[in-house]
C-alpha cells in the first residue's frame, strides 16, 4: 500500500511536507522495482536551488542511470548521506530510509497540486 501522508508525480517521485515546512523527496516503490539494484545515488549540494521539474538527483542501477526531477521548487536543505555507502536503501525502503533529499522554502500549495496516493496508483494501473 502507498503511504497516504504524501503526494506523488507521474514520474514516480514522492514528496512529503514535514511539520517544519520542509519537503522530503524520494522515489516510489514502483520506481525502485523498475530500476532494479541501485548501485549509486548522485545527490545535489546543500544550498543549491532546484526549480520544479529540474533534475535534482540521479539514481543509477546495474543497467542504467535515471534522472530524478524536483516535484516542486526549493532550496536543498539536506541530502540522505546514508545513501553514499548504502545506495541499496532506496531498494529496501524507498518511502522511509531511502529518501533522497529535503527541500526548504517550498510552496506547499504547489505540492497540493500533485497526485494523491489513489491518483498515482491509478496511473500505475493505466501503465500496466
Partner 1 sequence: MEIKSRGNEAGAELRRTPLYRQHLRLGARMAPFGGFEMPIQYRGIVEEHQAARRQAALFDTCHMGEFHLSGTTAVADLQRLLTCQVETLPVGRCRYGLLCNEAGGVIDDLLLYRLATDEFMLVGNSARRQPDWLWLRRHVGRQTRLLDQSEEIAKIDLQGPAAVPIAIRLMGEPIDNMVFYSFRKNRYRDREILLSRTGYTGEIGFEFYLPVDLAEPLWNDCLELGAAPAGLGARDTLRLEMGMPLHGHELSENRVAGEAGLGRAIAADKKFVGSDKVHDKSLLKQSLQGILLTDRRAARQGQTVLRAEDEREIGTVTSGSFAPSLGRAVALAYLDRETAKVGDRILVAAGRRRLEGQVVEPPFYRKATGRAKLARFMP
Sheet harboring 38-42: ordered strands across? 38-42, 55-61, 65-69
Task: Pick from 39, 93, 97, 104 the residue near partner 1 by CB under 8 A.
Answer: 39
* Cβ contacts of 100 within 8 Å, gap of 6 or more: 25, 26, 27, 41, 43, 56, 57, 59, 68, 79, 80, 83, 90
Task: Pick from 2, 16, 22, 42 the residue near partner 1 by CB under 8 A.
Answer: 42
* String of contacts with partner 1 for each residue 66-105, x by CB under 8 A: xxxx-----------------x---x--------------
As measured in angstroms, the least distance from the Cβ of 46 to partner 1 is: 18
Amino acid at each position: 500500500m502507498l503511504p497516504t501522508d504524501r503526494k506523488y508525480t507521474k514520474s514516480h517521485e514522492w514528496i512529503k511536507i514535514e511539520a517544519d515546512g520542509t519537503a522530503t523527496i524520494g522515489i516510489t516503490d514502483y520506481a525502485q522495482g523498475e530500476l532494479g539494484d541501485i548501485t549509486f545515488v548522485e545527490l545535489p549540494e546543500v544550498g543549491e536551488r532546484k526549480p520544479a521539474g529540474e533534475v535534482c538527483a540521479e539514481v543509477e542501477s546495474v543497467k542504467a542511470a535515471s534522472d530524478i526531477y524536483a516535484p516542486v521548487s526549493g532550496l536543498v536543505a539536506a541530502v540522505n548521506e546514508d545513501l553514499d555507502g548504502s545506495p541499496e536503501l532506496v531498494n529496501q525502503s524507498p518511502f522511509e530510509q531511502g529518501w533522497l533529499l529535503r527541500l526548504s522554502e517550498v510552496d506547499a500549495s504547489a505540492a497540493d497540486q500533485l497526485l494523491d496516493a489513489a491518483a498515482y496508483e491509478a496511473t500505475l494501473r493505466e501503465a500496466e
